[in-house]
Amino acid sequence: MKVAIYPGSFDPITSGHLNIIRRAAMIFDKLIVCVMVNSAKAPMFTRDERVELIKRVVIDLPNVEVDSSGELLADYARRRGSCVIVKGLRAGSDFENEFQMALINHKINPNLDTMFLTAEHQYMYLSSSTVKELGKYDVDLSDFLPKAIIPDFKQRIEAVRQGGNKK
Protein backbone atom coordinates (compact mmCIF):
# COMPACT_ATOMS: atom_id res chain seq x y z
CA MET A 1 0.00 0.00 0.00
CA LYS A 2 1.45 3.37 -1.05
CA VAL A 3 1.14 5.82 1.83
CA ALA A 4 2.03 9.48 1.35
CA ILE A 5 2.26 12.31 3.83
CA TYR A 6 1.18 15.89 3.18
CA PRO A 7 2.75 18.01 5.93
CA GLY A 8 2.16 21.68 6.69
CA SER A 9 1.03 24.29 9.15
CA PHE A 10 -2.52 24.51 7.77
CA ASP A 11 -3.27 27.61 9.83
CA PRO A 12 -5.93 27.38 8.55
CA ILE A 13 -6.41 24.92 5.66
CA THR A 14 -7.06 26.86 2.43
CA SER A 15 -8.70 25.90 -0.86
CA GLY A 16 -5.17 25.57 -2.28
CA HIS A 17 -4.26 22.96 0.34
CA LEU A 18 -7.55 21.14 -0.26
CA ASN A 19 -6.86 21.04 -3.99
CA ILE A 20 -3.48 19.36 -3.35
CA ILE A 21 -5.12 16.89 -0.91
CA ARG A 22 -7.80 15.86 -3.43
CA ARG A 23 -5.26 15.33 -6.21
CA ALA A 24 -2.78 13.43 -4.00
CA ALA A 25 -5.58 11.24 -2.62
CA MET A 26 -6.25 10.05 -6.18
CA ILE A 27 -2.60 9.10 -6.70
CA PHE A 28 -1.86 7.25 -3.44
CA ASP A 29 -3.68 4.46 -1.61
CA LYS A 30 -3.62 6.50 1.56
CA LEU A 31 -2.77 10.14 2.28
CA ILE A 32 -1.92 11.34 5.77
CA VAL A 33 -2.38 15.08 6.17
CA CYS A 34 -0.15 16.00 9.09
CA VAL A 35 -0.24 19.27 10.99
CA MET A 36 3.39 19.86 11.88
CA VAL A 37 4.37 21.95 14.86
CA ASN A 38 6.55 24.83 13.73
CA SER A 39 7.98 26.73 16.68
CA ALA A 40 8.94 29.64 14.41
CA LYS A 41 5.28 30.41 13.69
CA ALA A 42 2.73 31.70 16.21
CA PRO A 43 -0.46 30.02 14.99
CA MET A 44 -3.96 31.48 14.89
CA PHE A 45 -5.53 28.05 15.53
CA THR A 46 -4.21 25.48 17.99
CA ARG A 47 -2.88 22.20 16.66
CA ASP A 48 -6.10 20.37 17.67
CA GLU A 49 -8.27 23.04 16.09
CA ARG A 50 -6.33 22.80 12.82
CA VAL A 51 -6.76 19.02 12.82
CA GLU A 52 -10.49 19.39 13.42
CA LEU A 53 -10.89 21.95 10.61
CA ILE A 54 -9.05 19.70 8.15
CA LYS A 55 -11.09 16.65 9.19
CA ARG A 56 -14.25 18.58 8.48
CA VAL A 57 -13.26 19.37 4.88
CA VAL A 58 -11.89 15.94 3.93
CA ILE A 59 -14.89 14.05 5.26
CA ASP A 60 -15.78 12.87 1.74
CA LEU A 61 -12.29 11.43 1.11
CA PRO A 62 -12.14 7.96 2.69
CA ASN A 63 -8.42 7.38 2.08
CA VAL A 64 -7.35 10.60 3.81
CA GLU A 65 -6.29 10.54 7.46
CA VAL A 66 -5.59 13.68 9.49
CA ASP A 67 -2.93 13.68 12.18
CA SER A 68 -0.52 16.04 13.93
CA SER A 69 3.06 15.68 15.05
CA GLY A 70 5.89 17.48 16.75
CA GLU A 71 8.41 14.97 15.40
CA LEU A 72 11.01 15.52 12.73
CA LEU A 73 9.17 14.86 9.46
CA ALA A 74 11.69 12.22 8.34
CA ASP A 75 11.13 10.31 11.61
CA TYR A 76 7.36 10.70 11.42
CA ALA A 77 7.35 9.27 7.88
CA ARG A 78 9.44 6.31 8.99
CA ARG A 79 7.13 5.59 11.91
CA ARG A 80 4.04 5.80 9.69
CA GLY A 81 5.53 3.51 7.04
CA SER A 82 5.54 6.18 4.35
CA CYS A 83 8.23 6.79 1.75
CA VAL A 84 6.68 9.80 0.01
CA ILE A 85 6.15 13.38 1.11
CA VAL A 86 3.76 15.42 -1.01
CA LYS A 87 4.28 19.15 -1.33
CA GLY A 88 2.44 21.84 -3.26
CA LEU A 89 4.56 24.20 -5.33
CA ARG A 90 3.29 27.68 -5.94
CA ALA A 91 5.46 30.39 -7.47
CA GLY A 92 9.23 30.15 -7.74
CA SER A 93 9.51 31.49 -4.20
CA ASP A 94 8.46 28.08 -2.78
CA PHE A 95 11.09 26.26 -4.80
CA GLU A 96 14.32 27.18 -3.04
CA ASN A 97 13.03 26.34 0.41
CA GLU A 98 11.20 23.17 -0.63
CA PHE A 99 14.20 21.90 -2.59
CA GLN A 100 16.41 22.33 0.47
CA MET A 101 13.92 20.56 2.75
CA ALA A 102 13.50 17.68 0.29
CA LEU A 103 17.28 17.13 0.19
CA ILE A 104 17.61 17.26 3.97
CA ASN A 105 14.71 14.85 4.53
CA HIS A 106 16.18 12.45 2.01
CA LYS A 107 19.56 12.67 3.70
CA ILE A 108 18.08 11.89 7.13
CA ASN A 109 15.81 9.17 5.79
CA PRO A 110 17.15 7.80 2.46
CA ASN A 111 13.93 5.85 1.89
CA LEU A 112 12.00 9.08 1.78
CA ASP A 113 11.33 11.05 -1.40
CA THR A 114 9.44 14.29 -1.94
CA MET A 115 6.96 14.68 -4.79
CA PHE A 116 5.74 18.07 -5.88
CA LEU A 117 2.32 18.88 -7.27
CA THR A 118 2.05 22.23 -9.00
CA ALA A 119 -0.55 24.57 -7.57
CA GLU A 120 -3.64 25.14 -9.72
CA HIS A 121 -3.38 28.56 -11.33
CA GLN A 122 -6.29 29.99 -9.32
CA TYR A 123 -4.52 29.09 -6.07
CA MET A 124 -1.04 30.09 -7.13
CA TYR A 125 -1.12 33.29 -5.05
CA LEU A 126 -2.95 31.79 -2.08
CA SER A 127 -1.41 31.18 1.34
CA SER A 128 -2.78 30.93 4.87
CA SER A 129 -1.05 34.19 5.75
CA THR A 130 -2.70 36.01 2.81
CA VAL A 131 -6.09 34.76 3.95
CA LYS A 132 -5.39 35.91 7.51
CA GLU A 133 -4.55 39.36 6.17
CA LEU A 134 -7.67 39.47 3.96
CA GLY A 135 -9.81 38.26 6.86
CA LYS A 136 -9.27 41.57 8.64
CA TYR A 137 -11.29 43.27 5.91
CA ASP A 138 -14.77 42.76 4.57
CA VAL A 139 -13.77 40.43 1.71
CA ASP A 140 -15.69 37.42 0.37
CA LEU A 141 -13.48 34.46 1.34
CA SER A 142 -15.30 31.74 -0.58
CA ASP A 143 -12.62 31.56 -3.31
CA PHE A 144 -9.90 31.11 -0.69
CA LEU A 145 -11.21 28.92 2.12
CA PRO A 146 -13.36 25.76 2.12
CA LYS A 147 -16.93 26.90 2.87
CA ALA A 148 -17.25 24.67 5.93
CA ILE A 149 -14.55 26.52 7.84
CA ILE A 150 -15.34 30.14 6.93
CA PRO A 151 -17.56 30.78 10.00
CA ASP A 152 -14.85 29.45 12.35
CA PHE A 153 -12.27 31.58 10.63
CA LYS A 154 -14.34 34.77 10.81
CA GLN A 155 -15.11 34.11 14.46
CA ARG A 156 -11.42 33.70 15.28
CA ILE A 157 -10.46 36.85 13.36
CA GLU A 158 -13.06 38.73 15.37
CA ALA A 159 -11.79 37.25 18.65
CA VAL A 160 -8.23 38.26 17.77
CA ARG A 161 -9.42 41.73 16.84
CA GLN A 162 -11.08 42.09 20.23
CA GLY A 163 -7.93 40.86 21.94
CA GLY A 164 -9.61 37.67 23.07
CA ASN A 165 -7.47 35.21 21.13
CA LYS A 166 -7.95 31.96 23.06
CA LYS A 167 -5.15 29.86 21.50
Is 46 among the residues that bind ligand ADP (CB under 6 A)? no
CA 153, 157, 159: angle at the middle one, nearest 5? 115
Contact 123, 14 (CB under 8 A): yes
Query: 65: burial class by Cβ within 10 Å (0-12, 13-18, 19+)?
Result: middle
Torsions phi, psi for 86 (to 5 deg): -105, 135
Q: Per CB under 6 A, does 94 bind ligand ADP?
A: yes
Q: Which is nearer to ligand ADP, 33 or 109 (CB)?
A: 33
Binding mask 98-127 for ligand ADP (x = CB under 6 A): ---------------------x---x--xx
The Cα 167–Cα 165 span in angstroms is 6
41 is catalytic: yes
> Cβ 140 to ligand ADP, closest distance in Å?
17
Q: Are 32 and 59 in contact (CB under 8 A)?
A: no
Residue 54 as a binder of ligand ADP (CB under 6 A): the answer is: no
Closest approach of ligand ADP to the CB of residue 118, in Å: 8
Residues with active-site annotation: 17, 41, 90, 128
Positions that interact with ligand ADP (CB under 6 A): 8-10, 14, 16-17, 20, 87-88, 90, 94, 119, 123, 126-129
